[in-house]
C-alpha cells in the first residue's frame, strides 16, 4: 500500500516533467475514493507513454526525464551528439546505480550528411598498477571495493564526441544534470528497487550512505535524492572541461578518496586515459546494414554471427514461430562459445576471430551443426572458456532533425559499481575490473578463464554492450541497444528480428517476451516478470512446450535486459534532403520519415519526441 502510493507520487511528478498535465489533473481530481478509475488512467498513460512519434527528432532513454532533456537539446538546434551528452549526464544523476561519470560507455554516431559512422570507445581501462594476478588472494575485490575500479572514461568520451559533432556549448549541456543533482530529483521506482536491493552495500559505504540513506534511512521510490557534490563536480567540468577531472583538482580529490579506501588509481592513470575513436564495425545481414562497436565489444561480432547463421536458412520464414525461436537459441549458443576468444584489440590479436564472426561462410559451417529436433550439451558448441557475466548499464537512442543518429550504452557495471561513492566529488566508482577474466578464478562452468581477457595495465575488458545503428539502402532505418550484461546481445537480436524481420510494431517488438542463454548452465532462461506498471510478460506455453520437446531445460527469470528502440518509417519519406556534395560521391539523398521511439516498459522508462 505504502509502496504503491510512493510509486504513484513518482509517476505524478514524472508526468509533470513530460508535460502531460491532463493526467496529473485527473489524479488529483479523483482522489483516493476512485482508486480503480485512477489506476485505469495510469494504464492508459503508460500505454501511451512507452512510445513517442515525431517527424523531427526523438530520444529513447530508460528514464523519461532524461529523454525530455535530450529532446530539449535537439529543440535548441543541437546535434544528436549534443543530445547524447545531456542525456548521459542526466542518466548518471537519476540512475546512479547503472551509469555515471565514474563509469564508461560505447557510443556509435552516424552523420547523415557524410554517411560516416564512428565508434567512440570510452570504456574504462585497467590502472597502470593493475596486474593479471592482482585478485589472486582476494577474488571478491575484483567486484567490490575500490580495487575493482577501472579508470573512468565517460567524460573524456563525451567530450571527444562533442568536439567533433557538437553544435551547442559544452556548458549548456550540463545545466539540466547539475540542477537535478543539486536541487534534488525524485527517486524513480527502478532506482528505489535498486536501493532496496543494495541496502548492505549502501549502508556500509559512507559516501553512498550520505546520498542514498541520509538520516540513516534508505531512500525509497518517491523520495527526493540530493547529490550536491556531484552537482559541484559537474559544474566544474561544465566550466573548465574534462581536464579538471583528468588533470586537475576534481581528479586529485577523486584519486585521494579512491586511495583512502584501498584503490590503486593515480593522477597518472587519469592523465593517460585515452578515448579510442575508430570507424564503426559494419555488418550486412538480412537485408540491413548494422553499424556497431568493434572489440572489446563482443556485441557487434556476436550479432553478426547469429544473424549470419539465421541467414543461412535462406528465408526470413526460418525465424518464425517456436521453431524460429529454437534456431535462434542454438545460434546464440554457438555465438557465446566463440565470443570468449575476444579481448581488447590493442592487447590481443583478435583478427582471425573477428574475420570468422563476420563471415557468412563460417556462419554456414555452424548452421550445419544446428538440428531442428534437438539441442546439445555445452561441449558441442566448442565451448572452451568460461563466460563473462557482465552487469548494469543503461542504453539510449537519439535521432535528430537532420537524421544524425546516436546509439549509446553506458555503465558502472554492477548496481552502484564498486559500492563506493567518492565523498568529495559525489562520483560512484565503477567495478568494471570485474569484466576481466582472472587466471585463478573458479567459475560455475569449471572451464578455464579466457586469456584474451586477462588484466593488463591500460587494457579494456571485454563487454556485451551492443549499441547499433541500422540502415536500409544507406538510409537510417533504426537505432537499438540494451542494458543487462550477457543478456544484451540476445535481447538486441530479438528486438531487431521482431520488428525488422517479423514485422511487429515497434512497441510490440520491444515488449515481446524474450529468451536468454548462458551456455553454462545449459538452460533456456525465459522471461516471466510483472512490470512496475503491473503488466505481465511471459513466454507463451506453446513455445515452452516446443522447446522442452527439443530437449531444452527451461527456467523462469524475472527480466534480463532492457531495450530502447527507434525506427524510421522509410516507406513514405516526407522530406528528402541532399547530402553535401563532395562528401560522399554517390550518396544522393537523406530520407526523413516518421520516427517512432520506444523505451522498454520493463524499466518504466519513457521516450520523448521533438
Ligand X SMILES: *[C@@H]1O[C@H](CO)[C@@H](O)[C@H](O)[C@H]1NC(C)=O
Binding site for ligand X (CB under 6 A): 247, 271, 349, 351-352, 371, 373-374, 528-530, 556
**Residue among 260 and 374 whose Cβ is closer to ligand X:** 374
Instruction: Compute the distance between CA of residue 328 and CA of residue 325 in angstroms, rounded to an integer.
Output: 5
* Distance of closest approach, residue 551 Cβ to ligand X, in angstroms: 7
- Residue 463 · residue 299 · CB < 8 Å: yes
Instruction: Compute the distance between CA of residue 100 and CA of residue 96 in angstroms, rounded to an integer.
Output: 6
Instruction: Compute the distance between CA of residue 79 and CA of residue 70 in angstroms, rounded to an integer.
Output: 10
3-state secondary structure of 428: strand
Largest CA distance in the chain: 66
Strand partners, 562: 483
All three cell numbers of 157, joined, read 568520451
* Distance of closest approach, residue 333 Cβ to ligand X, in angstroms: 16
In 3D space, the residue among 104, 501, 120, 119 whose CA is nearest the CA of residue 318 turns out to be 501
**Residue among 156 and 202 whose Cβ is closer to ligand X:** 156
**Residue among 369 and 384 whose Cβ is closer to ligand X:** 369
All three cell numbers of 521, joined, read 548452465
Chain centroid to CA 208: 23
- Residue 440 · residue 136 · CB < 8 Å: yes
Dihedral sign, CA of 488, 489, 495, 496? positive
* Distance of closest approach, residue 271 Cβ to ligand X, in angstroms: 4
**Pairing outcome for strands 281-285 and 288-292:** antiparallel
- The residue whose grid cell reads 551509469 is 99
* Distance of closest approach, residue 538 Cβ to ligand X, in angstroms: 6
* Distance of closest approach, residue 350 Cβ to ligand X, in angstroms: 8
Instruction: Compute the distance between CA of residue 361 and CA of residue 483 in angstroms, rounded to an integer.
Output: 30
Contacts (Cβ under 8 Å, ≥6 apart) of 583: 113, 114
Q: H or E stretch including 575?
A: strand 575-578
* Distance of closest approach, residue 243 Cβ to ligand X, in angstroms: 6
Chain centroid to CA 22: 32
- Residue 513 · residue 540 · CB < 8 Å: yes
**Residue among 125 and 409 whose Cβ is closer to ligand X:** 125
* Distance of closest approach, residue 373 Cβ to ligand X, in angstroms: 4
* Catalytic residue set: 393
DSSP, residue by residue, 212-244? HSGGGS---TTSEE--HHHHHHHHHHHHH-THH
User: Using CB atoms, what's the residue nearest to ligand X?
Assistant: 556
Amino acid at each position: 500500500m505504502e509502496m504503491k502510493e510512493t510509486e504513484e507520487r513518482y509517476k505524478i511528478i514524472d508526468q509533470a516533467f513530460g508535460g502531460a498535465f491532463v493526467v496529473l489533473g485527473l489524479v488529483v481530481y479523483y482522489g483516493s475514493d476512485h482508486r480503480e478509475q485512477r489506476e485505469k488512467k495510469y494504464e492508459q498513460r503508460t500505454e501511451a507513454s512507452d512510445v513517442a512519434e515525431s517527424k523531427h527528432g526523438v530520444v529513447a532513454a530508460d528514464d523519461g526525464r532524461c529523454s525530455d532533456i535530450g529532446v530539449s537539446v535537439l529543440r535548441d538546434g543541437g546535434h544528436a551528439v549534443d543530445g547524447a551528452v545531456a542525456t548521459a549526464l542526466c542518466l548518471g544523476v537519476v540512475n546512479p546505480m547503472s551509469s555515471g561519470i565514474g563509469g564508461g560507455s560505447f557510443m556509435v554516431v552516424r552523420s547523415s550528411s557524410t554517411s560516416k559512422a564512428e565508434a567512440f570507445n570510452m570504456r574504462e581501462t585497467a590502472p597502470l598498477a593493475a596486474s593479471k594476478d592482482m585478485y589472486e588472494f582476494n577474488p571478491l575485490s575484483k567486484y567490490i571495493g575500490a580495487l575493482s575500479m577501472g579508470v573512468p572514461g565517460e567524460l573524456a568520451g563525451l567530450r571527444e564526441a562533442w568536439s567533433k559533432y557538437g553544435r551547442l556549448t559544452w556548458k549548456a549541456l550540463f545545466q539540466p544534470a547539475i540542477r537535478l543533482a543539486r536541487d534534488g530529483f525524485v527517486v524513480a521506482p527502478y532506482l528505489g528497487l535498486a536501493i532496496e536491493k543494495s541496502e548492505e552495500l549502501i549502508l556500509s559505504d559512507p559516501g553512498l550512505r550520505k546520498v542514498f540513506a541520509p538520516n540513516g534511512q534508505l531512500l525509497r521510490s518517491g523520495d527526493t535524492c540530493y547529490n550536491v557534490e556531484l552537482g559541484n563536480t559537474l559544474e566544474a567540468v561544465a566550466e573548465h572541461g574534462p581536464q579538471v577531472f583528468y588533470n586537475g583538482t576534481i581528479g586529485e580529490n577523486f584519486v585521494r578518496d579512491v586511495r583512502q579506501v584501498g584503490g590503486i588509481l593515480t593522477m597518472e592513470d587519469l592523465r593517460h586515459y585515452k578515448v579510442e575513436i575508430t570507424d564503426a564495425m559494419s555488418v550486412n545481414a538480412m537485408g540491413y546494414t548494422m553499424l556497431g562497436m568493434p572489440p572489446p565489444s563482443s556485441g557487434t561480432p556476436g550479432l553478426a554471427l547469429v544473424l549470419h547463421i539465421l541467414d543461412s536458412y535462406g528465408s526470413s520464414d526460418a525465424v518464425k514461430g517456436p521453431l524460429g525461436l529454437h534456431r535462434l537459441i542454438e545460434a546464440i549458443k554457438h555465438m557465446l562459445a566463440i565470443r570468449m576468444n575476444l579481448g581488447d584489440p590493442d592487447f590481443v590479436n583478435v583478427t582471425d576471430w573477428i574475420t570468422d564472426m563476420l563471415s557468412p561462410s563460417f556462419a554456414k559451417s555452424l548452421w550445419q551443426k544446428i538440428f531442428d529436433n534437438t539441442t546439445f550439451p555445452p561441449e558441442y558448441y566448442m565451448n572452451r572458456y568460461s563466460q563473462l557475466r557482465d552487469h548494469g548499464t543503461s542504453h539510449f537512442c537519439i535521432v535528430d532533425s537532420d537524421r544524425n543518429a546516436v546509439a549509446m550504452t553506458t555503465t558502472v557495471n554492477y548496481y552502484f559499481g564498486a559500492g563506493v561513492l567518492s565523498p568529495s566529488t559525489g562520483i560512484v566508482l565503477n567495478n568494471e575490473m570485474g569484466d576481466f577474466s582472472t587466471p585463478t578464478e573458479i567459475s560455475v562452468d569449471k572451464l578455464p578463464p579466457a586469456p584474451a581477457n586477462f588484466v593488463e595495465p591500460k587494457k579494456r575488458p571485454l563487454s556485451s554492450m551492443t549499441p547499433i545503428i541500422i540502415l536500409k539502402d544507406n538510409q537510417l532505418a533504426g537505432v537499438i541497444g540494451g542494458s543487462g550484461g550477457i543478456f544484451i546481445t540476445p535481447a538486441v537480436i530479438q528486438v531487431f528480428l521482431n520488428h525488422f524481420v517479423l514485422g511487429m510494431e515497434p512497441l510490440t517488438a520491444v515488449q515481446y517476451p524474450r529468451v536468454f542463454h548462458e551456455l553454462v548452465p545449459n538452460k533456456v532462461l525465459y522471461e516471466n516478470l510483472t512490470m512496475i506498471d503491473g503488466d505481465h510478460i511471459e513466454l507463451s506455453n506453446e513455445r515452452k512446450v516446443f522447446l522442452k520437446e527439443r530437449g531444452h531445460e527451461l527456467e523462469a527469470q524475472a527480466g534480463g535486459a532492457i531495450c530502447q528502440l527507434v525506427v524510421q518509417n522509410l516507406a513514405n519519406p516526407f522530406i528528402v534532403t541532399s547530402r553535401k556534395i563532395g562528401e560522399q560521391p554517390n550518396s544522393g539523398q537523406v530520407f526523413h520519415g516518421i520516427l517512432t521511439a520506444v523505451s522498454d516498459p520493463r524499466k518504466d522508462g519513457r521516450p520523448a519526441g521533438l
